[in-house]
Amino acid sequence: MSASKSAYSLWLASRRLTETPALFSQIRGLESAVPLATRLQVQEAFRSARAARSQCAQLPHFRRREALLHIADRIRQQHSLFAHTLAMEVRKPISDARVEVDRAIDTFTLAAEESTRMHGKFEPMDISLRNAPYTGITTRFPAGVISMIAPFNFPLNLAAHKIGPAIAAGCPFVLKPSDRTPASALMLGEILAETNLPTGAFSILPCAPEDADQYSVDENIDVISFTGSPKVGWHIKSLAPKKKVLLELGGNAACVVTEDANIASAAQRILFGAFYSAGQSCISVQRVFIHESIYDQMKSTLIEGTHALNKRRGDLLDENTFLCPMIAESEAKRAEAAVQRAVREDGARILVGGTRDGDVFDCTIVEDAGARSPLTRNEQFAPIFHMQPYSDYKKVLECVNDSDFGLQAGVFTRDINKAFYAYNHLHVGGVVINDIPSARVDSQAYGGVKESGVGREGLRYAIEDFTEIKVMLLKDLGRLDD
Protein backbone atom coordinates (compact mmCIF):
# COMPACT_ATOMS: atom_id res chain seq x y z
CA MET A 1 0.00 0.00 0.00
CA SER A 2 1.36 3.42 -0.98
CA ALA A 3 1.84 5.90 1.83
CA SER A 4 0.20 9.31 1.68
CA LYS A 5 2.13 12.33 0.42
CA SER A 6 4.58 14.14 2.67
CA ALA A 7 3.55 17.63 1.52
CA TYR A 8 0.51 19.35 0.03
CA SER A 9 0.31 22.62 -1.87
CA LEU A 10 -2.37 25.22 -2.39
CA TRP A 11 -3.37 25.99 -5.98
CA LEU A 12 -4.16 29.58 -6.95
CA ALA A 13 -4.96 30.61 -10.54
CA SER A 14 -3.67 27.29 -11.92
CA ARG A 15 -0.30 27.57 -10.20
CA ARG A 16 1.22 26.00 -7.13
CA LEU A 17 1.75 28.42 -4.26
CA THR A 18 5.39 28.14 -3.29
CA GLU A 19 5.53 30.69 -0.49
CA THR A 20 5.19 29.41 3.06
CA PRO A 21 1.50 29.53 4.04
CA ALA A 22 0.48 31.56 7.06
CA LEU A 23 -2.05 28.95 8.22
CA PHE A 24 -1.94 25.18 8.52
CA SER A 25 -4.42 22.44 9.41
CA GLN A 26 -3.08 19.26 10.97
CA ILE A 27 -5.07 16.35 9.50
CA ARG A 28 -5.06 13.32 11.74
CA GLY A 29 -3.60 10.32 9.96
CA LEU A 30 -1.55 12.28 7.41
CA GLU A 31 2.20 12.75 7.60
CA SER A 32 2.08 16.46 6.87
CA ALA A 33 0.05 19.46 7.91
CA VAL A 34 -2.14 20.86 5.13
CA PRO A 35 -1.87 24.56 4.25
CA LEU A 36 -4.88 26.86 4.48
CA ALA A 37 -5.45 29.89 2.28
CA THR A 38 -5.95 33.41 3.57
CA ARG A 39 -8.97 35.54 2.66
CA LEU A 40 -6.78 37.67 0.38
CA GLN A 41 -5.69 34.58 -1.53
CA VAL A 42 -9.30 33.47 -1.99
CA GLN A 43 -10.17 36.92 -3.30
CA GLU A 44 -7.27 36.77 -5.74
CA ALA A 45 -8.44 33.38 -6.93
CA PHE A 46 -11.89 34.68 -7.79
CA ARG A 47 -10.43 37.69 -9.61
CA SER A 48 -8.24 35.35 -11.63
CA ALA A 49 -11.20 33.14 -12.43
CA ARG A 50 -13.14 36.18 -13.66
CA ALA A 51 -10.20 37.12 -15.90
CA ALA A 52 -10.12 33.57 -17.32
CA ARG A 53 -13.86 33.43 -18.00
CA SER A 54 -13.66 34.26 -21.70
CA GLN A 55 -10.81 31.86 -22.41
CA CYS A 56 -12.57 29.03 -20.61
CA ALA A 57 -15.80 29.65 -22.52
CA GLN A 58 -13.95 29.63 -25.84
CA LEU A 59 -11.98 26.45 -25.11
CA PRO A 60 -13.03 23.94 -27.80
CA HIS A 61 -15.14 21.07 -26.57
CA PHE A 62 -12.60 18.48 -27.66
CA ARG A 63 -9.98 20.26 -25.53
CA ARG A 64 -12.29 20.11 -22.54
CA ARG A 65 -12.74 16.39 -23.18
CA GLU A 66 -8.97 15.90 -23.39
CA ALA A 67 -8.47 17.62 -20.05
CA LEU A 68 -11.16 15.55 -18.34
CA LEU A 69 -9.87 12.26 -19.73
CA HIS A 70 -6.36 13.20 -18.60
CA ILE A 71 -7.65 13.76 -15.06
CA ALA A 72 -9.40 10.38 -15.07
CA ASP A 73 -6.28 8.63 -16.38
CA ARG A 74 -3.97 10.24 -13.83
CA ILE A 75 -6.27 9.32 -10.94
CA ARG A 76 -6.26 5.76 -12.25
CA GLN A 77 -2.46 5.76 -12.32
CA GLN A 78 -2.35 7.00 -8.71
CA HIS A 79 -5.23 4.84 -7.49
CA SER A 80 -3.39 3.43 -4.46
CA LEU A 81 -2.10 6.83 -3.37
CA PHE A 82 -5.54 8.43 -3.57
CA ALA A 83 -7.15 5.49 -1.75
CA HIS A 84 -4.58 5.59 1.06
CA THR A 85 -4.97 9.36 1.41
CA LEU A 86 -8.77 9.08 1.61
CA ALA A 87 -8.59 6.31 4.20
CA MET A 88 -6.26 8.37 6.37
CA GLU A 89 -7.84 11.84 6.10
CA VAL A 90 -11.52 10.78 6.25
CA ARG A 91 -10.83 7.82 8.57
CA LYS A 92 -12.76 5.43 6.34
CA PRO A 93 -11.93 1.76 5.62
CA ILE A 94 -9.61 1.21 2.69
CA SER A 95 -12.28 -0.80 0.87
CA ASP A 96 -14.60 2.23 0.92
CA ALA A 97 -11.75 4.51 -0.10
CA ARG A 98 -11.03 2.40 -3.17
CA VAL A 99 -14.65 2.60 -4.23
CA GLU A 100 -14.54 6.38 -3.96
CA VAL A 101 -11.48 6.52 -6.20
CA ASP A 102 -13.21 4.28 -8.75
CA ARG A 103 -16.24 6.55 -8.69
CA ALA A 104 -14.11 9.67 -9.21
CA ILE A 105 -12.59 8.06 -12.30
CA ASP A 106 -16.10 7.32 -13.57
CA THR A 107 -17.24 10.87 -12.80
CA PHE A 108 -14.45 12.56 -14.75
CA THR A 109 -14.87 10.08 -17.62
CA LEU A 110 -18.60 10.79 -17.79
CA ALA A 111 -17.88 14.53 -17.71
CA ALA A 112 -15.53 14.07 -20.68
CA GLU A 113 -18.26 12.28 -22.61
CA GLU A 114 -20.87 14.91 -21.79
CA SER A 115 -18.54 17.77 -22.74
CA THR A 116 -19.15 17.09 -26.43
CA ARG A 117 -22.92 16.56 -26.10
CA MET A 118 -24.01 20.08 -25.25
CA HIS A 119 -26.64 20.34 -27.94
CA GLY A 120 -28.93 23.25 -28.71
CA LYS A 121 -32.35 23.47 -30.38
CA PHE A 122 -33.65 24.77 -33.69
CA GLU A 123 -37.21 25.85 -33.01
CA PRO A 124 -40.04 27.12 -35.19
CA MET A 125 -41.44 30.35 -33.75
CA ASP A 126 -44.42 30.81 -36.06
CA ILE A 127 -46.91 30.43 -33.23
CA SER A 128 -49.23 33.06 -34.74
CA LEU A 129 -49.57 35.24 -37.82
CA ARG A 130 -47.72 38.02 -36.01
CA ASN A 131 -44.74 35.73 -35.37
CA ALA A 132 -44.77 33.92 -38.71
CA PRO A 133 -41.41 35.31 -39.93
CA TYR A 134 -39.42 34.07 -36.93
CA THR A 135 -37.23 31.02 -36.29
CA GLY A 136 -35.26 30.44 -33.10
CA ILE A 137 -32.01 28.82 -32.05
CA THR A 138 -31.31 28.09 -28.37
CA THR A 139 -27.89 27.14 -27.07
CA ARG A 140 -26.37 26.74 -23.62
CA PHE A 141 -23.50 29.07 -22.69
CA PRO A 142 -21.18 28.94 -19.64
CA ALA A 143 -22.73 30.64 -16.61
CA GLY A 144 -19.41 32.09 -15.46
CA VAL A 145 -17.29 31.69 -12.34
CA ILE A 146 -18.26 28.78 -10.10
CA SER A 147 -17.66 28.83 -6.36
CA MET A 148 -17.47 25.24 -5.13
CA ILE A 149 -17.75 24.18 -1.51
CA ALA A 150 -17.23 20.46 -0.89
CA PRO A 151 -17.84 18.40 2.28
CA PHE A 152 -15.52 16.21 4.33
CA ASN A 153 -17.15 12.82 3.82
CA PHE A 154 -16.41 12.07 0.13
CA PRO A 155 -13.78 14.71 -0.60
CA LEU A 156 -12.57 13.26 -3.90
CA ASN A 157 -15.72 12.18 -5.71
CA LEU A 158 -17.90 15.06 -4.52
CA ALA A 159 -15.21 17.46 -5.70
CA ALA A 160 -15.20 15.58 -9.01
CA HIS A 161 -18.96 16.12 -9.27
CA LYS A 162 -18.33 19.87 -9.25
CA ILE A 163 -15.04 20.13 -11.15
CA GLY A 164 -16.04 17.78 -13.97
CA PRO A 165 -19.21 19.63 -15.00
CA ALA A 166 -17.48 23.01 -14.67
CA ILE A 167 -14.72 22.04 -17.09
CA ALA A 168 -17.24 20.46 -19.46
CA ALA A 169 -19.38 23.62 -19.36
CA GLY A 170 -16.43 25.96 -19.90
CA CYS A 171 -16.53 27.61 -16.48
CA PRO A 172 -13.54 28.67 -14.34
CA PHE A 173 -13.84 27.71 -10.69
CA VAL A 174 -12.50 28.06 -7.18
CA LEU A 175 -12.91 25.00 -4.96
CA LYS A 176 -12.99 25.06 -1.18
CA PRO A 177 -12.48 21.53 0.08
CA SER A 178 -13.31 20.88 3.71
CA ASP A 179 -10.57 22.04 6.05
CA ARG A 180 -11.03 18.65 7.74
CA THR A 181 -10.24 16.60 4.60
CA PRO A 182 -8.49 18.77 1.99
CA ALA A 183 -5.61 16.50 0.95
CA SER A 184 -7.21 14.54 -1.91
CA ALA A 185 -8.58 17.73 -3.48
CA LEU A 186 -5.13 19.34 -3.36
CA MET A 187 -3.77 16.24 -5.08
CA LEU A 188 -6.30 16.90 -7.84
CA GLY A 189 -4.72 20.32 -8.24
CA GLU A 190 -1.46 18.70 -9.32
CA ILE A 191 -3.30 16.82 -12.04
CA LEU A 192 -5.33 19.84 -13.17
CA ALA A 193 -2.08 21.77 -13.57
CA GLU A 194 -0.96 19.21 -16.16
CA THR A 195 -3.94 19.92 -18.44
CA ASN A 196 -4.50 22.44 -21.23
CA LEU A 197 -6.92 24.55 -19.17
CA PRO A 198 -6.34 28.32 -19.41
CA THR A 199 -4.36 30.07 -16.71
CA GLY A 200 -6.72 31.05 -13.91
CA ALA A 201 -9.24 28.35 -14.82
CA PHE A 202 -8.97 26.71 -11.41
CA SER A 203 -7.94 27.32 -7.82
CA ILE A 204 -8.15 24.87 -4.91
CA LEU A 205 -7.97 26.68 -1.60
CA PRO A 206 -9.05 25.19 1.71
CA CYS A 207 -9.37 27.97 4.25
CA ALA A 208 -10.13 28.58 7.90
CA PRO A 209 -13.85 28.60 8.81
CA GLU A 210 -13.79 32.33 9.56
CA ASP A 211 -12.78 33.06 5.94
CA ALA A 212 -15.20 30.64 4.27
CA ASP A 213 -17.87 33.29 3.67
CA GLN A 214 -15.73 34.69 0.82
CA TYR A 215 -16.90 31.69 -1.22
CA SER A 216 -20.44 33.09 -0.96
CA VAL A 217 -20.10 36.86 -1.07
CA ASP A 218 -17.26 37.51 -3.52
CA GLU A 219 -18.45 39.86 -6.27
CA ASN A 220 -16.82 37.75 -9.01
CA ILE A 221 -18.95 34.65 -8.32
CA ASP A 222 -21.75 33.76 -10.75
CA VAL A 223 -22.79 30.33 -9.41
CA ILE A 224 -22.34 28.71 -5.99
CA SER A 225 -22.33 24.92 -5.75
CA PHE A 226 -22.47 23.76 -2.13
CA THR A 227 -22.63 20.29 -0.60
CA GLY A 228 -22.99 20.07 3.16
CA SER A 229 -25.34 20.70 6.05
CA PRO A 230 -28.75 22.37 5.63
CA LYS A 231 -27.88 25.02 8.23
CA VAL A 232 -24.81 26.18 6.33
CA GLY A 233 -26.38 25.73 2.91
CA TRP A 234 -29.41 27.91 3.52
CA HIS A 235 -27.21 30.49 5.20
CA ILE A 236 -25.07 30.64 2.06
CA LYS A 237 -28.20 31.15 -0.02
CA SER A 238 -29.20 34.07 2.22
CA LEU A 239 -25.77 35.65 1.68
CA ALA A 240 -26.05 35.44 -2.10
CA PRO A 241 -29.62 36.42 -3.06
CA LYS A 242 -28.62 37.56 -6.57
CA LYS A 243 -26.47 34.56 -7.46
CA LYS A 244 -27.50 31.13 -8.70
CA VAL A 245 -27.09 28.88 -5.65
CA LEU A 246 -27.13 25.09 -5.95
CA LEU A 247 -27.52 23.18 -2.69
CA GLU A 248 -27.04 19.46 -2.08
CA LEU A 249 -27.91 19.17 1.59
CA GLY A 250 -28.96 16.60 4.14
CA GLY A 251 -31.63 13.98 4.57
CA ASN A 252 -33.10 11.36 6.86
CA ALA A 253 -33.55 8.74 4.17
CA ALA A 254 -36.28 6.14 4.58
CA CYS A 255 -36.45 2.58 3.36
CA VAL A 256 -39.72 0.63 3.00
CA VAL A 257 -39.67 -3.19 2.95
CA THR A 258 -42.88 -4.78 1.64
CA GLU A 259 -44.15 -8.23 2.52
CA ASP A 260 -42.90 -9.80 -0.73
CA ALA A 261 -39.31 -8.56 -0.40
CA ASN A 262 -36.29 -10.83 -0.15
CA ILE A 263 -35.58 -10.48 3.57
CA ALA A 264 -31.93 -11.54 3.53
CA SER A 265 -31.03 -9.33 0.59
CA ALA A 266 -32.95 -6.31 1.92
CA ALA A 267 -31.41 -6.68 5.39
CA GLN A 268 -27.87 -6.90 4.01
CA ARG A 269 -28.32 -3.75 1.95
CA ILE A 270 -30.00 -1.81 4.77
CA LEU A 271 -27.14 -2.59 7.12
CA PHE A 272 -24.64 -1.37 4.57
CA GLY A 273 -26.66 1.74 3.74
CA ALA A 274 -27.07 2.71 7.38
CA PHE A 275 -23.58 2.03 8.64
CA TYR A 276 -21.00 2.44 5.85
CA SER A 277 -18.58 5.31 6.48
CA ALA A 278 -19.96 5.51 10.04
CA GLY A 279 -23.30 6.70 8.65
CA GLN A 280 -21.69 9.96 7.52
CA SER A 281 -23.60 10.26 4.26
CA CYS A 282 -26.57 12.44 3.40
CA ILE A 283 -28.34 9.38 1.96
CA SER A 284 -27.49 6.90 4.70
CA VAL A 285 -30.48 4.81 5.79
CA GLN A 286 -32.03 6.40 8.85
CA ARG A 287 -35.67 5.26 8.90
CA VAL A 288 -36.76 1.70 8.11
CA PHE A 289 -40.41 0.70 7.71
CA ILE A 290 -41.02 -3.07 7.53
CA HIS A 291 -44.31 -4.79 6.81
CA GLU A 292 -45.74 -6.29 9.99
CA SER A 293 -45.92 -9.81 8.50
CA ILE A 294 -42.12 -10.01 8.20
CA TYR A 295 -41.12 -7.52 10.89
CA ASP A 296 -39.98 -9.95 13.60
CA GLN A 297 -38.02 -12.09 11.18
CA MET A 298 -36.28 -9.14 9.60
CA LYS A 299 -35.67 -7.53 12.98
CA SER A 300 -33.75 -10.59 14.12
CA THR A 301 -31.74 -10.63 10.89
CA LEU A 302 -30.84 -6.96 11.24
CA ILE A 303 -29.81 -7.28 14.89
CA GLU A 304 -27.64 -10.31 14.14
CA GLY A 305 -26.01 -8.54 11.21
CA THR A 306 -25.33 -5.40 13.24
CA HIS A 307 -23.61 -7.38 15.99
CA ALA A 308 -21.35 -8.89 13.33
CA LEU A 309 -20.49 -5.49 11.84
CA ASN A 310 -19.64 -4.05 15.27
CA LYS A 311 -16.99 -6.75 15.59
CA ARG A 312 -15.33 -5.62 12.35
CA ARG A 313 -13.42 -2.76 13.92
CA GLY A 314 -9.71 -2.45 13.34
CA ASP A 315 -6.96 -1.02 11.20
CA LEU A 316 -8.43 1.18 8.47
CA LEU A 317 -6.05 -0.43 5.97
CA ASP A 318 -7.31 -3.93 6.85
CA GLU A 319 -9.62 -5.28 4.15
CA ASN A 320 -11.98 -6.72 6.78
CA THR A 321 -12.51 -3.47 8.69
CA PHE A 322 -16.03 -2.02 8.45
CA LEU A 323 -16.70 -0.06 11.65
CA CYS A 324 -14.67 3.13 11.44
CA PRO A 325 -14.25 6.31 13.49
CA MET A 326 -16.42 9.35 12.94
CA ILE A 327 -14.69 12.45 11.63
CA ALA A 328 -14.18 13.75 15.20
CA GLU A 329 -14.84 12.58 18.74
CA SER A 330 -17.29 15.46 19.13
CA GLU A 331 -19.43 13.92 16.38
CA ALA A 332 -19.43 10.53 18.12
CA LYS A 333 -20.48 12.26 21.35
CA ARG A 334 -23.28 14.01 19.45
CA ALA A 335 -24.56 10.67 18.14
CA GLU A 336 -24.39 9.12 21.59
CA ALA A 337 -26.34 12.02 23.10
CA ALA A 338 -29.03 11.79 20.41
CA VAL A 339 -29.68 8.12 21.17
CA GLN A 340 -29.65 8.67 24.94
CA ARG A 341 -32.13 11.53 24.58
CA ALA A 342 -34.47 9.38 22.48
CA VAL A 343 -34.41 6.68 25.16
CA ARG A 344 -34.87 9.14 28.00
CA GLU A 345 -37.51 11.44 26.50
CA ASP A 346 -39.20 9.54 23.64
CA GLY A 347 -39.41 6.01 24.99
CA ALA A 348 -37.03 4.57 22.42
CA ARG A 349 -35.46 1.14 22.88
CA ILE A 350 -31.93 0.34 21.77
CA LEU A 351 -31.93 -3.04 20.02
CA VAL A 352 -28.18 -3.13 19.43
CA GLY A 353 -25.28 -0.70 19.76
CA GLY A 354 -25.67 2.71 21.35
CA THR A 355 -22.20 2.78 22.88
CA ARG A 356 -19.19 4.98 22.16
CA ASP A 357 -15.47 4.41 22.45
CA GLY A 358 -13.67 7.67 21.78
CA ASP A 359 -14.45 8.71 18.21
CA VAL A 360 -16.09 5.38 17.34
CA PHE A 361 -19.84 5.03 17.79
CA ASP A 362 -21.23 1.53 17.42
CA CYS A 363 -23.62 0.62 14.63
CA THR A 364 -26.98 1.17 16.35
CA ILE A 365 -30.59 0.14 15.79
CA VAL A 366 -33.42 1.81 17.72
CA GLU A 367 -37.18 1.26 17.74
CA ASP A 368 -40.25 2.85 19.40
CA ALA A 369 -38.87 6.41 19.25
CA GLY A 370 -42.01 7.75 17.60
CA ALA A 371 -42.56 9.90 14.53
CA ARG A 372 -41.96 13.20 16.36
CA SER A 373 -38.68 12.22 17.98
CA PRO A 374 -35.64 14.26 16.91
CA LEU A 375 -33.94 10.92 16.35
CA THR A 376 -36.28 10.14 13.47
CA ARG A 377 -36.98 13.68 12.25
CA ASN A 378 -33.48 15.16 12.20
CA GLU A 379 -30.53 14.13 10.12
CA GLN A 380 -28.26 12.07 12.37
CA PHE A 381 -25.21 11.71 10.11
CA ALA A 382 -24.16 8.79 12.25
CA PRO A 383 -24.43 4.96 12.21
CA ILE A 384 -27.99 4.92 13.57
CA PHE A 385 -31.34 3.86 12.17
CA HIS A 386 -34.82 3.58 13.58
CA MET A 387 -37.13 0.71 12.57
CA GLN A 388 -40.87 0.20 12.91
CA PRO A 389 -43.60 -2.02 11.46
CA TYR A 390 -46.39 -0.91 9.14
CA SER A 391 -49.55 -2.49 7.76
CA ASP A 392 -50.86 -0.12 5.05
CA TYR A 393 -48.64 0.66 2.05
CA LYS A 394 -50.22 3.98 1.15
CA LYS A 395 -50.04 5.19 4.73
CA VAL A 396 -46.41 4.18 5.15
CA LEU A 397 -45.48 6.29 2.14
CA GLU A 398 -47.21 9.20 3.87
CA CYS A 399 -44.93 8.49 6.85
CA VAL A 400 -41.92 8.64 4.55
CA ASN A 401 -43.14 12.00 3.24
CA ASP A 402 -43.67 13.29 6.79
CA SER A 403 -40.18 14.74 6.85
CA ASP A 404 -38.55 18.11 6.39
CA PHE A 405 -36.15 16.39 3.98
CA GLY A 406 -36.59 14.81 0.58
CA LEU A 407 -33.38 13.48 -0.92
CA GLN A 408 -33.87 9.78 -1.76
CA ALA A 409 -35.99 6.87 -0.56
CA GLY A 410 -35.75 3.12 -1.07
CA VAL A 411 -38.53 0.58 -1.56
CA PHE A 412 -38.00 -3.18 -1.56
CA THR A 413 -40.88 -4.76 -3.49
CA ARG A 414 -41.57 -7.21 -6.32
CA ASP A 415 -44.83 -5.48 -7.20
CA ILE A 416 -44.33 -3.14 -10.16
CA ASN A 417 -47.49 -1.21 -9.30
CA LYS A 418 -46.22 -0.53 -5.79
CA ALA A 419 -42.92 0.57 -7.28
CA PHE A 420 -44.59 3.10 -9.56
CA TYR A 421 -46.98 4.21 -6.82
CA ALA A 422 -43.94 5.07 -4.69
CA TYR A 423 -42.30 6.86 -7.61
CA ASN A 424 -45.44 8.91 -8.22
CA HIS A 425 -46.19 9.79 -4.58
CA LEU A 426 -42.92 10.09 -2.66
CA HIS A 427 -41.81 13.71 -2.38
CA VAL A 428 -38.09 13.11 -2.85
CA GLY A 429 -35.48 13.68 -5.51
CA GLY A 430 -34.95 9.97 -6.17
CA VAL A 431 -36.76 6.68 -5.55
CA VAL A 432 -34.66 3.51 -5.52
CA ILE A 433 -36.55 0.26 -6.10
CA ASN A 434 -35.18 -2.94 -4.56
CA ASP A 435 -32.22 -1.17 -3.07
CA ILE A 436 -31.36 1.35 -0.40
CA PRO A 437 -31.70 5.13 -0.78
CA SER A 438 -27.93 5.23 -0.33
CA ALA A 439 -27.52 3.92 -3.89
CA ARG A 440 -26.24 6.53 -6.31
CA VAL A 441 -25.13 6.11 -9.91
CA ASP A 442 -22.78 8.93 -10.76
CA SER A 443 -24.57 9.72 -14.03
CA GLN A 444 -28.03 10.00 -12.48
CA ALA A 445 -29.88 13.19 -11.62
CA TYR A 446 -29.07 13.57 -7.94
CA GLY A 447 -30.50 16.11 -5.55
CA GLY A 448 -33.43 16.75 -3.26
CA VAL A 449 -36.49 18.77 -2.44
CA LYS A 450 -37.63 20.57 0.70
CA GLU A 451 -34.75 21.00 3.17
CA SER A 452 -32.57 18.68 1.09
CA GLY A 453 -31.69 21.43 -1.35
CA VAL A 454 -32.15 22.86 -4.84
CA GLY A 455 -30.59 21.91 -8.16
CA ARG A 456 -29.24 18.58 -9.37
CA GLU A 457 -25.87 16.90 -9.61
CA GLY A 458 -25.07 14.11 -12.03
CA LEU A 459 -22.92 15.20 -14.94
CA ARG A 460 -25.48 16.14 -17.57
CA TYR A 461 -27.72 17.81 -15.01
CA ALA A 462 -24.94 19.72 -13.29
CA ILE A 463 -23.75 21.01 -16.67
CA GLU A 464 -27.23 22.41 -17.20
CA ASP A 465 -27.00 24.20 -13.86
CA PHE A 466 -23.55 25.55 -14.78
CA THR A 467 -24.82 26.99 -18.07
CA GLU A 468 -27.44 29.50 -19.20
CA ILE A 469 -29.80 29.24 -22.17
CA LYS A 470 -29.47 31.93 -24.79
CA VAL A 471 -31.85 32.35 -27.72
CA MET A 472 -31.23 33.87 -31.15
CA LEU A 473 -34.34 34.94 -33.07
CA LEU A 474 -33.97 35.00 -36.83
CA LYS A 475 -36.48 36.82 -39.00
CA ASP A 476 -37.23 35.72 -42.56
CA LEU A 477 -34.72 32.89 -42.35
CA GLY A 478 -34.38 31.18 -45.73
CA ARG A 479 -36.53 33.78 -47.48
CA LEU A 480 -35.40 34.92 -50.91
CA ASP A 481 -36.72 38.16 -52.37
CA ASP A 482 -38.31 37.78 -55.81
The catalytic site residues sit at 248, 282
Estimate to the nearest angstrom the gap between the alpha carbon of 173 and the chain centroid. 18
Do residues 323 and 313 make contact, with C-beta atoms less than 8 angstroms apart? Answer: yes
The strand pairing partners of 454, in sequence order, are: 247
The CA distance from 446 to 355, in Å, is 33
Residue 454 contacts residue 122 (beta carbons within 8 Å): no
Which residues lie below 8 Å from residue 481, measured CB to CB, with a gap of 6+? Answer: none
Residue 18: how many CB atoms within 10 A of its CB? 7
How far apart CA 260 and CA 366 sit, in angstroms, is: 24
Give φ, ψ of 125 to 5 degrees. Answer: -120, 10
**CA–CA gap between residue 340 and residue 285 (Å, rounded):** 20
CA distance 283 to 380: 11
Distances 351 to 168, 308, 366, 384 between C-alpha atoms, Å: 48, 14, 6, 11
**For residue 42, how far is the Cα from the chain centroid?**
23
